[in-house]
Amino acid sequence: MKMFTGWLGLMMALMVPTAEAYNQEIRALFTPDPAQPQRNVFINKTPDSGYCATYPDECKQHNMFSIRIPTRFGPSSVITPGTSVPIKAPANWRQLTVINRETGESEVVEVRITGIGSDYVLSHTAASLVGVTDDREGHQKLWTGDRWVYAAPPCQYSGVGAYTARTYRFFWKTPEESPCTKVAAFRIPFMSFETMDFAYELRTPNPLGMSSGLYTGSINYFLGPGRDFDIGGLPADDGNLTLDFVLDVQHTLKVTLPPGGNKVELVPQGGWQSWINEGRKPNRLFRDQTFHISASSRFKMMLICPTIIGSNCAITDLNARRSGMVELKVTLPNGLTDQHGRPVNRFPLTVGNAGALHVMPSFYVDRGKATLHFEIGEQYTHYMVQPDVPGNYTGTMTVIWDSET
């Protein structure tokens, strides 16, 4: 008999319900905007619910976003005159780490709660609790000091409240992480708070320094008396709130050559006429090839070629078995710098990783004008250009713009 009682007690303990958890996704997107290239920020993509969905103009004016979760606080026991009813939100900045699902790169995001609201539900009509007939007057007299719509300090008035005979919908701004306390002026047999609205603000990393992809991470809050979210000093039926962050980074890296720009002919200054007509040997052969680039993320430029002299590419006359070394330099538009933050002006590209140019954007560059400078110097020009010796030098140089840095 004692053994049976023990097992029954264990079974009953296992069946005791535990506090549930509520998960809410917070999604933000970065994609470069050609109309605002200097605006390098994430745009909130989480649909509003609760206060901001009901009063969008109020929230737009203060750049607020709100979410409503279906949690319930209470009910309370008897509230006597002079009883304090606290409202508190986690208004201080808190950090979380988000990780790129593909690359494993991590970044730090900060979040704070800038507003909190709910709908208090009374055991009886507010008018009957204070001994009047008008509902609005009942809600006004039920609490000492200002009406409930006017937040208790340090919370701040948000602009709008709504009521019925037994309920009052409110939303307060939370500039500080401290309880904002209302005090009952009359006896209330019991009350509860139905649903919870909260507004939030994010500090996100600079997207120009992030790789493309989805960055995810979570932060946990606790709900209930004296905890992160405290409404009325009452227990919540959902004791935990998890915010799941998804930062979607969609970069642009696009290079556009003019028609025929993939074929480059190296010629002397002023053309070949001085050599053909006067026999004046040129000192160099060159061509500047312009292109347009759009970039919102870091990338690197690399050079590869099948024939190499030193660390540079070469062009070859297969018949004469002569080769000439071609130096390649690049100039990029304002807004694209090297890894040390310096402007890119005739930066020499050489073959291999060691000769790569690592580029960082300081803002989104949209169709910026850039130049590839091809040149054969005096030594190789004099070697290649010989009197009465025809030559046909060709070669391939491949320039790679690699966003996977």
How does pLDDT run across 171-182, given as a tens digit for each residue? Answer: 999 999 999 999
Residue at a domain's end among 208, 233, 249: 249
Q: For position 314, which CATH number holds?
A: 2.60.40
> 4 lies in a domain?
no
Q: Which residues pair with 329 in a beta bridge?
A: 348, 373
Long-range contacts at 274-283 (CB < 8 A, ≥ 24 apart): 275/385, 279/387, 281/381, 281/382, 281/385, 282/381, 282/385, 283/378, 283/381, 283/382
User: Based on the number of CB atoms within 10 Å of its own CB, is 357 exposed (0-12), middle (13-18) or buried (19 or more)?
Assistant: buried
Per residue in 152-203, pLDDT (tens digit) is: 999 999 878 899 999 999 999 999 999 999 999 999 999 999 999 999 999 9
Residue 200 CA, distance from chain mean position: 14
pTM above 0.85, yes or no: no
Per residue in 205-262, pLDDT (tens digit) is: 999 889 899 999 999 999 999 999 999 999 999 899 999 999 999 999 999 999 998 9
Query: Which residue is associated with the tokens 């002919």?
Result: 265
Residue at a domain's end among 215, 249, 283: 249
Domain total in the chain: 2
> 372 lies in a domain?
yes
187 and 335 assigned to the same domain: no
158 and 83 assigned to the same domain: yes
Residue at a domain's end among 213, 234, 249: 249
350 and 371 assigned to the same domain: yes
> 165 lies in a domain?
yes
Write down the pLDDT at residue 404. 62
211 and 324 assigned to the same domain: no
239 and 283 assigned to the same domain: no
Per residue in 113-123, pLDDT (tens digit) is: 999 999 999 99
Q: In this structure, how many other beta carbons lie within 10 angstroms of the beta carbon of residue 240?
A: 18
